[in-house]
């Protein structure tokens, strides 16, 4: 006959067997992660995988968001190579942590670059800048800050239709509701300024509006100075908060001041705002993840509290920013000779992209490709919004080994003298086939 102690042990063993995920037979196939759904594939990353797997000699990867030279190769800017050599020769070089705010030579130089040396925000002490993990990190840090402190608390984030593929993901991940405002006229492939202004005007007051400072991604369509003024008028009228994303300053037109026109206009008109800045494109520091988040406040007395909260959030997410790219960019920004050479390097990239736009349009015109292709040269920056349909894009991908995004965006920087004719003939073929 079993003792009471034996019975107690038996009951305890039975209970433990039900509680333990390792011993319960019904739990052997279960996982803590069973409820995690598959995330939708990232369009750009998916495209890169497909392109890398394609061994056809005619392959053209038009999806890559990085500058390529006329041989289709990555280009290390000569000025960046010089800055790197200087860093390597520095006897005091080290790999110590930087402060939470980042490298002062970078953040200070970035302020002047974006806002201008005569900026009232700099002069009045209303501007704070901290280093981030490139432009993506700047967008995310701003998004997290706004989720905690935005006024009104239910304000939504408004992004252009279309916009950079990561914008929606960043702001939704931070917990915001994301809405769209009209931007591209898909019939003419020009700015739908009336639709944009109407959407900004009818949005509830105090919304957060994400604006591309220059070289709009993916369309390459930028407002004129007059149109920017109208946008500012409506945003002031409705009390909206501008959140500029600036990834192409100097790279877009070759002129850093021209590319910063919209930001400086809004500052001069008294807006408080955020600017996310990246040095990936204009310095070619893609993998170094070098960027900044700038905040302009109405009054200098507000800055200590705002900067303290940004520092807190940055510390909680990345501790401190990476040093190497910051040291390169900071060296270039603070040295007059290197800075001048950098401007020339950017002009080289900008000019080559413009020449490829002209070459593609010229080839399409020579072929008599149906449609109006003037948008190829009227758009600006790294990308061109071709207006090709999804069916045409898939045909280009499957039949002609050309890889562009589903919305018809191509990276003009991927064109060169060796492939532009093939690209034009392929586009001509799919356009004619659809007629």
Q: Where are the alpha helices (DSSP H) in 21-128?
A: 43-53, 78-88, 104-115, 120-123
Residue 410 CB neighbours (<10 A): 28
As a whole number of angstroms, the distance between CA 393 and CA 408 comes to 6
Rg for the chain (alpha carbons), in Å? Answer: 26
Which distant-in-sequence residues (6+ apart) come within 8 Å of 13 by Cβ? none
Q: Are the CB atoms for 233 and 268 separated by under 8 Å?
A: no
Question: Going by DSSP bridges, is the β-strand pair 273-278/290-296 parallel, antiparallel, or unpaired?
Answer: antiparallel
For residues 263 and 228, what is the distance between their CA atoms, to the nearest angstrom?
Answer: 10
Neighbours of 337 (CB within 10 A): 10
> Please, which residues have CB within 8 angstroms of residue 103's CB and are 6 or more apart in sequence?
131, 321, 323, 326, 327, 330
Catalogue the active-site residues. 164, 245, 281
* Sign of the dihedral through C-alpha 75, 80, 84, 89: positive
Which SS3 state, helix, strand or coil, does residue 143 take? helix
């Amino acid at each position: 006959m079993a003792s009471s102690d034996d019975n107690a042990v038996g009951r305890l063993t039975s209970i433990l067997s039900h509680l333990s995920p390792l011993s319960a037979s019904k739990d052997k196939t279960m996982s803590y992660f069973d409820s995690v759904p598959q995330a939708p594939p990232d369009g750009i990353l998916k495209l890169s995988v497909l392109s890398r797997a394609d061994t056809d000699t005619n392959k053209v990867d038009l999806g890559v968001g990085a500058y390529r030279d006329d041989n289709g190769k990555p280009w290390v800017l000569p000025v960046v190579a010089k800055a790197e050599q200087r860093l390597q020769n520095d006897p005091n070089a080290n790999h110590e942590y930087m402060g939470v705010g980042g490298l002062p030579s970078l953040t200070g130089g970035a302020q002047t670059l974006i806002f201008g040396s005569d900026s009232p925000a700099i002069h009045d002490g209303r501007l704070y800048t901290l280093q981030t993990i490139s432009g993506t990190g700047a967008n995310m840090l701003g998004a997290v800050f706004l989720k905690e402190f935005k006024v009104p608390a239910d304000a939504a984030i408004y992004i252009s239709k279309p916009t950079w593929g990561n914008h929606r993901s960043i702001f939704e991940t931070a917990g915001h509701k994301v809405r769209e405002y009209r931007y591209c006229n898909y019939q003419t492939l020009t700015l739908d300024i009336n639709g944009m202004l109407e959407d900004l005007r009818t949005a509830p007051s105090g919304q957060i509006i994400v604006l591309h400072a220059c070289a709009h991604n993916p369309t390459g369509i930028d407002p004129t100075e007059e149109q920017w003024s109208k946008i500012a008028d409506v945003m002031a009228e409705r009390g909206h908060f501008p959140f500029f994303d600036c990834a192409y300053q100097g790279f877009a037109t070759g002129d850093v001041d021209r590319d910063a026109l919209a930001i400086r206009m809004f500052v001069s008109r008294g807006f408080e705002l955020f600017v996310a800045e990246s040095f990936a494109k204009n310095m070619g520091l893609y993998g170094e993840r070098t960027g900044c988040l700038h905040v302009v406040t109405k009054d200098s007395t507000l800055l200590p509290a705002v900067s303290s909260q940004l520092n807190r959030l940055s510390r909680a997410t990345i501790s401190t920013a990476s040093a190497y790219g910051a040291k390169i960019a900071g060296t270039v920004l603070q040295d007059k000779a290197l800075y001048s050479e950098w401007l020339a390097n950017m002009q080289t990239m900008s000019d080559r992209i413009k020449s490829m736009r002209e070459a593609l349009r010229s080839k399409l015109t020579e072929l008599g490709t149906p449609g109006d292709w003037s948008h190829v040269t009227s758009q600006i920056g790294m990308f061109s919004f071709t207006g090709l349909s999804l069916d045409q894009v898939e045909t280009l991908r499957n039949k002609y080994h050309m890889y562009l995004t589903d919305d018809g965006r191509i990276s003009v920087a991927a064109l060169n003298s060796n492939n532009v004719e093939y690209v034009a003939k392929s586009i001509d073929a799919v356009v004619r086939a659809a007629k």
